[in-house]
Amino acid sequence: MSGLDVRKLGNANREFGLPGNTLPATKGLAHRRRKRAAGFVTLASGSLVRRRPRIETSRLAVHMPRLPKRLEGLRIAFAADFHLSYIHPTFRVREAVNAIAALEADLVLLGGDYLTKPSHSFEAVIAQLATLDAPHGVFAVAGNHDYASGVFDLGEAVAHTHIQDLTNRGFAITSAPGHSDSIDTDGALWIAGLDDLWHGTPDVEAAMAGAPDGAPRILVSHNPYVADILPAGSADLILAGHTHGWQVYIPGVSRAFVPRHKAKYRHGFYHTRAGRMYVTRGVGHSHVPVRLGSRPEVVLLTLVS
């Protein structure tokens, strides 16, 4: 498998209005229009702010033809975009954690953006996430907001818990919970994660290093746009967040106010060159404390062959 082409990364980012692999510039008329629209939504939606929608659990069966029979029915919980901030305080994060814990999954994957502002503490949000447990463990990757808030502080907070950093690395699952692991990785499922697309250095070769030939592969990336620059067939399933399902989704209207770098992927399954991808709506808020037509979401994936 060929690695991630940094030149393609730069070209792809420029296509979406991003210079290199950095955050997009947020200036100009279009940005001011979006800010005014966001302000209008905030002012006009006081009741929505007070009565935020409950977290929805999306239960999905994922067909994987190469899945070993002994891993049939493996349950994976996935959630992203916790966004601890003054508009999404700790008790909201705790609600999401409780929703994930209630799934009783075999594996928990966390898709980044744990903070919105550096004035808040990674320790506070990671302390909540560290109450999660699963037979195959809890694994996390970082998002763009985590870099903006100090990704090294995130790493330090995670290092003091049982949560494992999945950035540009992977591991094999060789048995179902309650059964002894195989002594080799034949017939394994490979779980891998990538660094953030905008601020990090996603390395798919490193993430897939050691993956057994023919093993199905699940790849976690905060930003779904990584699928557009990954090598073809990189994964059987890509899990991503970042878009919040656009937070305010009004069919036929919302797209006009969504930045170009978030307009291609919103929520749900997509077939990409790199592999099938599921984009979660996430659980938190950024910029405005409103969700309309885009409920917060945690996901339970049940693998079937």
- When pLDDT is averaged across residues 269-280 and rounded to a whole number, the result is 96
CATH class of the domain whose range is 6-304: alpha beta
- When pLDDT is averaged across residues 257-278 and rounded to a whole number, the result is 83
CB 63 within 8 A of CB 302: no
Lowest mean pLDDT among 4-13, 99-108, 134-143, 274-283: 4-13
Q: What is the pLDDT of residue 244?
A: 78
The radius of gyration computed from the CA coordinates of the chain, to the nearest angstrom, equals: 19
Q: What is the pLDDT of residue 148?
A: 81
Burial string for 17-40 (b: 16+ CB within 10 Å, else e) reads ebeebeebeeeeeeeeebeebbee
Residue 197 has pLDDT above 90, yes or no: yes
% of the chain with per-residue pLDDT over 70: 71
Q: How confident is the model at residue 74 (pLDDT cuts 50, 70, 90)?
A: very high
- When pLDDT is averaged across residues 275-293 and rounded to a whole number, the result is 82
- When pLDDT is averaged across residues 254-282 and rounded to a whole number, the result is 82
Angle CA(45)–CA(46)–CA(52) in degrees, nearest 5? 85
Render 212-256 in DSSP notation, one character per residue.
PTT--EEEE-S-GGGGGTSPTT--SEEEE-SSGGGSB--TTTGGG
**Whole-number mean pLDDT of the chain?**
80
Q: What is the pLDDT of residue 49?
A: 44
Residue 266 has pLDDT above 80, yes or no: no
Q: What is the pLDDT of residue 32?
A: 52
Q: Report the distance separating Cα 143 and Cα 33, nearest Å.
A: 26
Residue 30 has pLDDT above 80, yes or no: no
% of the chain with per-residue pLDDT over 90: 50
Q: How confident is the model at residue 295 (pLDDT cuts 50, 70, 90)?
A: confident
Q: What number of other Cβ atoms are within 10 A of residue 53's Cβ?
A: 13
At 137-189, the pLDDT tens digits run: 999 999 998 888 878 888 889 999 999 999 999 999 998 766 555 545 558 99
Q: What is the pLDDT of residue 251?
A: 72
Residue with tokens 């409950």: 54
Q: What is the pLDDT of residue 245?
A: 66
* Angle formed by the axes of helices 90-101 and 122-129, nearest 10°: 20
Residue 45 has pLDDT above 50, yes or no: no
Lowest mean pLDDT among 34-48, 78-92, 98-112, 150-164: 34-48
Edge-first strand listing for the sheet containing 268-272: 169-173, 189-193, 217-220, 237-240, 275-279, 268-272
